[in-house]
Amino acid sequence: MTGTAKVAALLLAMNKQHASRLLKYFDEDEVKIIAQAANDLGKVSKEIVDALIEEFAHDLKHGADLTATTEKIHGLLEGVLSPDQIAALLAQTGTKSAHAVWQQLPKISQTVLTQYLMKEHPQVIALVLSRAEPLISAALLKLLPRSVSKEVVARMLAIRPVSERAYVLLEISFLQDLLINRRRDSDLSPHTRMAELMNKMDRKLMDECLQAIGVYNEKDAELIRQQLFTFDDLGRLTEASLVTVFDQIAADVVVRALHGIPKPMQEQILQAVPSRARRAIEADLTDGPAVKPREAMKAQRAIADIALDMVERGIIEFQGNEADEAEG
């Protein structure tokens, strides 16, 4: 079993309350990947469940045969994702795995596929065509404008290994857009779509993608860069907006996120934290256990995602916006 399959099996073996509490520590992309792993899991024998429990949770004594039904997956995600998000993940239109989206492409009109791809960045098109069946890729290349197809072929030849997580996110996006949602936001520019995808990546992968895009077209990279939002961008928010963001963040997440960041930004964030929690957070930062860089990065991404959602909904704003409105 893969790591994600083991996680899915253990979560399904737990009661709903404990599993839901654990899932809240994962970011949204990781929950989607776990949900997909659970959907692919099928029946797991009692012996395997017992071995997993022995490996990861020595205090549990009993395992049981496990079948990952739609109802169990729904119960696992309830309270962690919204009903619409759960429905999108489970409404797979007969597709058992996100990886099977590539086998579903022949069932979709090539015209629809071409129109979909034309709204994406050439690098995304190259990734898709490198993953699809050769006959489908060849047919789609013929339908793309000559200038686009030439660039896509060049990018396909130059593609370097891509992390499995990035491919899973791409597959889930394809599954929802083409087989479920038929792209609710088809009017988005390719730069905006790429920015939305990259906003879900960690900073290292984000920088690598920007660098790769910049090699081909620095203007494209700059247009995408303008729409990215990272944890560092919290410092650009107004004081009131920062307070609004951290009023929604649990203290333990704040503690993990503040590890290793520059002191000035750390102090700026602490000033936005409710006073009743600030002392406890400062104590944990000084005397608490060490936080692994990966855990700190996950917490920072989770906070940035919440802030980005608030920015897009107009709940919070950046410094300078108030002055601009006053002048208008």
Residue type, 258: L
**Level-2 CATH architecture, domain 3-91:** Orthogonal Bundle (1.10)
| Whether the domain at 3-91 and the domain at 232-319 fall into the same CATH topology | yes
> What confidence score (pLDDT) does residue 28 get?
67
Is residue 326 scored above 60 in pLDDT? no
On whether the pTM is more than 0.75, the answer is no
Residue 36: which of 84, 82, 101, 83 has the closest Cα? 101
Whether 219 shows a pLDDT value over 60: the answer reads yes
E-assigned strands of the chain?
43-44, 66-67
The encoded tokens of residue 246 equal 């951290």
Answer yes or no: CATH 1.10.220.30 is held by domain 232-319.
yes
Predicted local confidence at residue 124, as pLDDT: 84
User: In this structure, what token pair is assigned to residue 274?
Assistant: 């409710």
The percentage of residues in the chain with a pLDDT greater than 70, rounded to a whole number, is 71
The band of 256, judged by pLDDT with boundaries at 50, 70 and 90, is very high
CA-wise closest residue to 117 among 218, 172, 176, 193: 193
> What band does 83 get if pLDDT is binned at 50, 70 and 90?
low
pLDDT value, residue 220: 84
For range 207-226, the mean pLDDT: 84
Domain ranges of the chain: 3-91, 100-225, 232-319
Q: Could you tell me which residues come within 8 angstroms of residue 30 by beta carbon, excluding any fewer than 6 positions away?
A: none
Please give the C-alpha separations between residue 31 and each of 80, 84, 110, 176, 319, in angstroms, as whole numbers: 9, 14, 31, 15, 33
Q: What is the C-alpha to C-alpha distance for residues 272 and 286, in angstroms, rounded to an integer? A: 19
**For the domain with range 100-225, which CATH number is right: 1.10.220, 1.10.10, 2.60.40, 2.120.10?**
1.10.220
Higher pLDDT, residue 3 or 232: 232
Q: Which residue would you say has higher pLDDT here, 25 or 323?
A: 25
